[in-house]
Amino acid sequence: MDMFIKFLVAAIGAGTPLLFGTVGEILNEKVGHLNLGVEGMMAIGACAGFMGGYLSDNFLVALLCAFLAGMLAALIYAVLTVTFMANQNVAGLTMTIFGVGISNFIGVYMIGTSDSGTLKLPETVTAQMRSIHIPVLSDLPVVGELVFSYNPFVYLGIVVAAVTGWYLYRTKTGLNVQAIGENPGAADAASIQVTKWKYFNILLGGGICGIGGAYCGMIINGGVWISNSVNGLGWIAVALVIFAAWKPHMAILGSFVFGALRVLKYYKVGFMVNLPDAFFDMLPFLITALVLIITSMRGSKGAHIPAFLGNNYFREER
Amino acid sequence: MTGTVKTTKEPLFHVVKHAERTGRQMIGFRLLAVALSIVAGGLFILAIGHNPIAVYGTILEGAFRSKIAIQSTVKFAIPLCICALGVTLAFKMKFWNIGGEGQLIMGAVFASYFALNFPNWNHWVLILVMLVAGAVGGGLWGLLAAAFKVKWGTNETLLTLMLNYIALHLVSYLQAGPWRDPEANGFSKIARFDKNAGLDKVLGVHFGWIIMLVLVALVWIYLKRSKQGYEISVVGESQDTARYAGIHVKKVVRRTMFLSGAIAGIAGVCQVSGSDMTLSMGVAGGVGFTAIIVAWLCQLNPGMILVVSLLFSILEKGSSVVQSTYGLSSDCADVLQGIILFFILGSEFFVRYAFVGRGKKGGAK
């Protein structure tokens, strides 16, 4: 039982960067843009967040840096794909190559400027991002550990996902925005400002990915800068969007399930002991592939994929 | 007409399709984009306190400074070029094969099976079997995505993406389990191949470069001069037209994706038995993704793919020298590649479209 609670706690931690990436990508895909640059935007967020915290001694400044850097990266993508109508796949892949490259590059450069040869977040920042401890509540048996024992990213992620879900499904603007991903021509005819809302969603999504990246840069390696901290999580996030059926509240569940899959290899029980670790690493991708195939088998009934996903919208070609 | 008509202010500018540009204009736009990206990259280098001209100089010099440097530059280009040729076939059909990485890995896995288990075969038989096995492995991995696509319309971009990682973790399984080298003292890695399973060197580089040149020619001929290549173009332009013309679209999609994956698989063989002499998690190392960009950048022209692959390798090799000379990370190759690509992606717009200012009449003439 104790082991199981530890497993759940670890799963939620491991799922949090995925949650940010997934919500960010959902915002992109809802306006019809399949952004394969999540990995890159997260890497840029990781670098900006870490360096922001390193230089300013302030956790909130770090978060803000990560968010703005993610937005800036998304701005490049948006200008290229929305205004310049460039191929989305190529623009996204380029963002990934560029983002991972510049993140590692700046990391190595900053290490070169430090005296000790390593980059470590100052104590004030690590104190602020440590797991919370609320008197009484955190000390409750089971519940305390399961609900009140995480670092601030976890709670922020759930709030961000919930608010995004509310925005997309419960506000008029959000429903309009979804129409853009389904049929931008019709949305345009209904006087929805297609370009404006595409920019809004892509930039907001990029910022959220950036914060997910900050989790990777600042938390995963315990406050020490190590290259490639995102290490493929952005791609799992792209996969998770499918698993979550393009719904932010499903993304909360999905990212914790995928987080569980990621840590499962440390908590093997029963028959699992004989399965190789590689199998557990493969599971998220295998499951996503299966989800993808099964939803396509069920045809349009089960498909939540935005109809115009991957295509650019040019008004004169309606 | 009764009632009031709501008038909105005309926007500052709007976008129109530009009339067909001449070939010279198109090349001009791209060269301008490359020039601008070099300036932008230079500003980046300047911003971190180095002399851009010196750094660029080091990249060029680093890639060509010695015979060994040139050889390793060529070695970088081989998997990239071959893999880009592979995805070209799929892209021509407008099939978004993002799975070059996975197909390369599967080719490498299939070839490694023979290299590890039958090292005593006659050298040329073994090499031939490895090449064929690699092609089959990569091809089947590509075919898998195509089969689901034609059967149920499964999104190929996302499925091929997932297959990349499934292949990658298959390698990690093999190296930790069944193919683990018992002599590696607790390290989980796969044994080095016997020399017999290695590609021979021609002019100092493994003969993958000859395979690369042959494939450039073959892919060009296949696309431009064969019936099957023509079918690919028709399916890519319009599936309805293809069906009307009596082309078996599903068959073409499956066949082309098999070939696309097979070529990527051959790139995998060149990596394991030419360059690395073993199979590891880093066998593809992002080549499959860069290949997509190369193929797109060259507008699926095999000759251009060869040239651009070589240019990218110069950047790659040169950046490793920048690392040792200036202490800058070799990741600057990725940064510069990214900047160049952003500019070229942007320039494509000005080839096809134009901005028209407020109050002016314009458009395709």
The model's pLDDT over A21-75, given as tens digits with 9 standing for 90+, comes to 999 999 999 999 999 999 999 999 999 999 999 999 899 999 999 999 999 999 9
Amino acid at B55: V
User: A285 touching B, CB under 8 A?
Assistant: yes
Considering only alpha carbons, which residue of chain A is nearest residue B17? A316
Residue B165 C-alpha, separation from nearest chain A C-alpha, in angstroms? 7
Distance from C-alpha of A200 to C-alpha of A10, rounded to nearest angstrom: 33
Q: In Å, how far is A272's CA from the nearest CA of chain B?
A: 15
Instruction: Determine the average pLDDT of the residues in A246-257.
Output: 92
CB of A222 within 8 Å of any CB in chain B? no
pLDDT tens, position by position, B66-109:
888 888 889 889 999 999 999 999 999 988 899 999 999 999 99
pLDDT digits (tens, 9 = 90+) for B274-330: 888 888 888 888 899 889 989 988 888 999 999 999 998 998 888 888 888 887 787
Helices (H), chain B: 23-47, 52-64, 67-92, 100-117, 123-152, 156-176, 208-225, 227-237, 239-244, 249-270, 287-297, 302-326, 332-352
A193 in reach of chain B (CB within 8 A): no
Contact: B162, A83; criterion CB under 8 Å: no
Of A94, A104, A289, the CB nearest to B329: A104
CA distance A274 to chain B (A): 11
Residue B151: closest C-alpha in chain A = A297
Decide the pairing of beta strands B13-17 and B353-357.
antiparallel
Q: How far is B125 from chain A (nearest CA, A)?
A: 33
| Secondary structure class of A131 (helix, strand, coil) | coil
Quick one: which H or E segment has residue A52? helix A38-56
Length of chain B in terms of residues written: 365
Interchain proximity A112–B16, CB inside 8 Å: no
Q: Which domains does chain B possess?
A: 14-50+331-365 (no CATH), 67-327 (1.10.3470)
- Contact state of A276 with B339 under an 8 Å Cβ cutoff: no
Q: What is the pLDDT of residues A151-191, one digit of tens each?
A: 889 999 999 999 999 999 999 999 999 999 999 999 988 98
Does the beta-carbon distance from B293 to A90 stay under 8 Å? Answer: yes
Q: Which residues in chain A are contacts of B148 at CB distance < 8 A?
A: 293, 296
For B185-202, what is each residue's pLDDT tens digit? Answer: 777 788 888 888 788 888
- Interface mutation vs chain B, best among A22, A83, A97, A297, most B CBs within 10 Å: A97
User: Does the distance separating the beta carbons of B335 and A101 come in below 8 Å?
Assistant: yes
Return the CATH number at A265: 1.10.3470
Count chain A–chain B contacts defined by CB atoms under 8 A. Answer: 156
ipTM exceeds 0.95, yes or no? no
- Picking from B286, B336, B328, B330, the residue whose alpha carbon sits closest to that of residue B311 is B336
Give the range of the structural domain holding residue A297, as residue numbers without chain letter.
2-317
The count of domains in chain A is 1
